[in-house]
Amino acid sequence: MGMYLRRNRRTKGDSDYEYWSLVESVRTARGPRQRTVTTIGKLPGLDKEERVGWEEIRRILDGKPMAQPDLFEECVEPPSWATVDINRVSVERLRHFGDVYLGLLLWSKLGFSEFCKEHMAEGKEDIPWSVMASILVLARFCAPSSELQIAEVWYEKTALDDLLAVPEYKINDDRLYRALDALLPHKDDLCKHLQNRYGELFGATFDFLFYDITSTYFEGTAEGNPQAKRGYSRDSRPDCPQVCIGLVATKEGLPAAFEIFDGNRSDVTTPKEMIEVMETKYGKAHRVWVMDRGMVSEKNLEFMRESGARYLVGTPKSLLKKFEHHLLDQHWEKVASGVEVRLCPSPDGTEETFVLCRSPGRKEKENAILNRFVVRLEDKLTKLAERAAHGILKNRQKVERQIGRLLEQNSRAASLFTVTVTGKDARVSIDIKRNEERYEQALQTGGSYILRTNWKETDPKTLWETYIQLTEVEDAFRTAKHDLGMRPIFHQKKERTQAHILVCFLSLALWRTLQQWMKTSGLGTAPRKLLEEMKEIKSLDVILPARDKTIRLRVVACASPQLKVLLQRMKIPLPNKPRTIKNVVAKNTHLSS
């Protein structure tokens, strides 16, 4: 279920010690439990920090290596001395540094800086669109908010004016909106660039493409967006117009491409279009498409077979009936804790491979839920029938509507009952029959599901492990919605909505890249804790009133010993040499000029 960092504190004698542990969340019969995988201790050389200045940080963000000192030269800088009135020493200009700096490192690591400079041609604009694009994505990555919030509040509280050399008074909502418009035409090229970069950074291949769909809703009517329509809402907001987003990801969960569909589009109607779009834009390759059962129809599978595409998909529950006798067989292979699989021949004699999967723990849970719905529905239907028998219910149409609502509210058990209403006026009667055969079948198949594929792989464990990677796409959707603030959408026009989702997609690429970076550094797969720690690193100006002048030094706060361990693991340097600031000009002077 993933590994994450946990900070621990231990008291020994009169001293407190803090350290990191890598914790894994695992499923057990008693529910999710946490298990300590390893303790991340202090690494050698942690106290011998290399002196890093702001100019070296700039080179790193530009993708250039840090300047190395000559082996035959003395690199120790002479000390600078000044007589300072310590009673008047003060601190000014506190800014968020750590999180935006980490975001810029990821922006550079993915090659977005070079891409935007190359593709977003510079004109007469005061600030290059490539720089404005980075601000939009960084804001989404660090502190999701609106363009107005970025311009009026967020940007001036960060150290981006130092890192990007763009003063805060030049960032306004109009410029940010126009940056959205400038970025959107490069969507497809950005996706192609990402796919190449993933291969260079992580050795990611695109033999498998994982496809899933989600929705996000609008605040407002969104009348200027023809794609904004009411449909099945995964956000429990059926009252709001929405759009649907189809995401294609790699096996590692790295976002590779996306498309936006109308809000009332059914999931099962999108795979054909998505496959055609991917093949048109990014080339036709011998890939395996992995999708859940909500995307599956015989028409879609036939299309993939005819086009030469391979697939590994879930199947509707109804197909289990054809494999009921296999559930009693003894030859099963354990592939994970509480999960068993076995190959089954195609019931129709086709060349497809079917994998029957079962989980005793999942079966117990599903059957308990089913029984709860059965008891509740039967109880309410019985009470309704008794009221009708006593002549309390006299309107047949009203009775049928009440029954309809009960079946809708208890949809899990609705198919197990046959309810017949006869008579009219004061003689309405309700006959209730439970289908015992169907009920037993539901209990028997609980916790079981079937995969089907035309991929030539015959190892059921490999097939199951590949399919289960779809959870990475589901996690990507959760990250985009909760951590990156993709919902709700406040833009009311189609192009601005698409640009907003593109910015969320790019920030998701940063998030997932950080996840892979942490994984290869032995720090788990949950970036949230690292981001929280990085947000505590601030830049500030130290004001030193000397005898003949006032000295202003711009410095970055030292990381805590615990954070230094994480930064050393990931080889992330922080500027630890102050920079002297001269000729400080007030913000109002710029505004008036």
Give which of 567, 568, 544, 563 is closest to 555, Cα–Cα.
Answer: 544
User: In sequence order, what DSSP letters do the residues of 305-351 get, joined into one string?
Assistant: HHTT-EEEEE--GGGGGGGGGGGG-S--EEEETTEEEEEE--TT--S
Give buried/exposed letters for 399-416 (b at 16+ CB in 10 A, else e). Answer: beebbeebbeebebbeeb
Mean pLDDT, range 420-436, rounded to an integer: 85
Mean pLDDT for the chain overall: 88
Q: What is the CATH number of domain 204-333+453-491?
A: 3.30.420
> Is the distance from CB of 542 to CB of 82 less than 8 angstroms?
no
Instruction: Detail the DSSP E strand segments found in 152-277.
Output: 208-217, 242-249, 255-262
Mean pLDDT, range 135-160, rounded to an integer: 96
- Within 10 angstroms of residue 16's Cβ, the number of other Cβ atoms is 9
**Terminal alpha carbon distance of the chain:** 56
Q: What's residue 70's pLDDT?
A: 52
Quote the CA–CA distance of 1 and 57 in Å, as a whole number: 36
> Is the distance from CB of 265 to CB of 294 less than 8 angstroms?
no
Mean pLDDT, range 143-150, rounded to an integer: 94
Q: What's residue 588's pLDDT?
A: 41
User: In sequence order, what DSSP letters do the residues of 154-189 get, joined into one string?
Assistant: IGGGBSHHHHH---GGG--HHHHHHHHHHHGGGHHH
Name the pTM for this structure: 0.88
**Tokens 């079966």 -> residue:** 363
What are the CA-CA distances from residue 277 to residues 255, 261, 446, 535 (Å)? 16, 13, 37, 39
Beta-bridge partners for 92: 541
Q: With bands split at pLDDT 50, 70 and 90, how would you rate the model's confidence at 66? A: low
Share above pLDDT 90 across residues of the chain, in percent, rounded to a whole number: 58
Could you report the per-residue pLDDT of 518-532, keeping only the tens digit for each?
999 999 988 999 999
Could you report the per-residue pLDDT of 354-392, keeping only the tens digit for each?
999 988 888 888 899 999 999 999 999 999 988 888 888
> Is the distance from CB of 95 to CB of 158 less than 8 angstroms?
yes
Give which of 135, 146, 171 is closest to 156, Cα–Cα.
Answer: 171
Quote the CA–CA distance of 314 and 320 in Å, as a whole number: 11
Could you report the per-residue pLDDT of 527-586, keeping only the tens digit for each?
999 999 999 999 999 999 998 899 999 999 999 888 999 999 999 999 888 888 876 544
Q: With bands split at pLDDT 50, 70 and 90, how would you rate the model's confidence at 59? A: confident
Quote the CA–CA distance of 18 and 11 in Å, as a whole number: 9
Q: With bands split at pLDDT 50, 70 and 90, how would you rate the model's confidence at 288? A: very high
